[in-house]
A and B are shown apart, each in its own frame.
Chain A
Amino acid sequence: MTNNLPAVSVKGLHKSFGSHEVLKGIDLAAHDGDVISLIGASGSGKSTLLRCIPMLEIPNSGSISVGEAHITPRDGKLSRADERTARAIRRDLGFVFQNFNLWPHRTVLQNVVEAPMIVQRRNKAECRDEAMALLEKVGLSDKADAWPNQLSGGQQQRVAIARALAQKPRALLFDEPTSALDPELVGEVLKVMRDLADEGRTMIIVTHEMGFAREVSSRTIFLHQGLVEEDGTPEQVFGNAHSERCRAFLSGYFDRA
């Protein structure tokens, strides 16, 4: 029964900032193991869509489900009960920000154990061991006691990924994870993400890395002005998109690259 439910499901999502309608009715379902790339021009609403899933932005209407947790905000507000559901949803998702957003007052290891220990109240020693294993996985076990400010952008982002994994999330959400990085540091972050995709993790990735999206994702969605304009396998979207706009967007990309 649970297996048939999508890991993440978004229905009829509308979001406005003031009078500007950014999302105009979006449906999206990510099943366990899906790797979905969200692509589109700046302002197409892809980051806003991603931020609506853990309620970092409160949608004006529509609904969000993560596993069994379901939430239907009204008028961009959360009721007290919604607030509790939102926290349950957030605990079940790992979110990776463009600007890493590590906690600068905590060491690398402390950043990774924070959510499982403080929010999920799990056993301290166990959290620590798991965190060390995760740091190993992202290639940073030697930096466990370093401070975030002592790391390069690529290293910080890898810590942020370990921090998200420490929650044992149902799905991982990435908001342009390589956009704030110097070009030479992009590769190390993409490699970690590729490994996660190979493990069968459920991922939704907002990205401008078209090569990565084409190779790694199982599904690619092109957003245009707050609507899904193209939705299919990477082969289809990158090779033979129905939408004229999608083809124009992609050709602009690959011409530049």
Chain B
Amino acid sequence: MTSELYLLGFGPEGWGPVLARAGLMTLAVSLSAFLLGTVLGTLTVWGRVSGNPVTRRIAETYVVVLRGIPDLLVIFLFYFGGRQVVSLVGTALGFEGPFDISGFVAGMLAIGLISGAGQSEVLRGAYQAVPKGTLEAGRVVGMSRWQLFRRVTAPQAMVTAIPGMGNQWQSVIKESALVSVTGLVETMRQVSIAAGTTQEHFLFYTAAAVIYLIITTLSDQVFRMLERRSMAGYAGGSH
């Protein structure tokens, strides 16, 4: 097998460039899904704590549904189901077919929606950990709701949320492999192709594992750094 390592290189027969591109695609789909999940998760927390019974119901239903069905099913629902919906709407609006929805968009929406449910749990815990007195102090100087969120709630909640959000991010990276079923050429899809073409299954799936490990390890470093930075003021004597 050692002799076959050139297959992973950047030479004429090497799969290096396409694997690198696939790794970046994994990163791109994960990042967009994670950010979508952060927005959804934040909205969900807001829906739960805002005191409006309707938004609370919607938020709770969303979390229950998304946590209760398999991730792969959600992706199928968005990719195949989404295509159907798009073509129905498109035909109704009088556009010519054929209609399609990209694997990237379907994957991002599906994983984002799944991650949003998970992130909302982390963010809710973090929100509840913000000392209520600091919120009153913000209100009493005349902050608007948005200023209060941006200047007082979010920065404090982030400190508590960072480790949990790191775990959510790891999950998103791993779930992104499921998006390969849509044909999107990310890491998982690309190594399947390469393994099939060269018949070097062990080599390429090991390479994929390494790619995922590189991404998760580097991300871990980033989250650790964020955690260290955000802890300023809490450690006492660190400044």
Contacts and interface: CB of A to CB of B under 8 A. Distances in A.
A80 to B, nearest CB: 12
Interface stretch (A88-96, A130-138, A229-237, A247-255): A88-96
B12 interface: no
Given A103-B134, A105-B159, A147-B236, A56 B141 contact: no
B239 A147 contact: yes
A153 to B, nearest CB: 14
A150 B137 CA distance: 19
Query: Chain A interface mostly helix, strand, loop or mixed?
Result: loop
Contacts of A81: none
Given A90-B140, A95-B140, A104 B151 contact: no
A103 B234 contact: no
A150 B237 contact: yes
B102 interface: no
A105 B236 contact: no
A74 interface: no
A77 to B, nearest CB: 12
B234 A118 contact: no
B142 interface: yes
Interface string A93-111: 1010101111111110000
Contacts of A107: 233, 239
A115 interface: yes
Contacts of A105: 155-156, 159, 230, 232-234
15 contacts: A87-B142, A90-B141, A90-B142, A97-B137, A101-B136, A103-B138, A105-B159, A107-B233, A114-B141, A118-B143, A119-B141, A147-B234, A147-B236, A147-B239, A150-B236
Interface of A: 54, 56, 87-88, 90-91, 93, 95, 97, 99-107, 114-115, 118-120, 145-150, 163, 167
Q: Which 9 A-B pairs have the closest CB atoms?
A: A91-B142, A101-B133, A115-B141, A147-B233, A101-B137, A90-B142, A95-B140, A87-B142, A149-B236
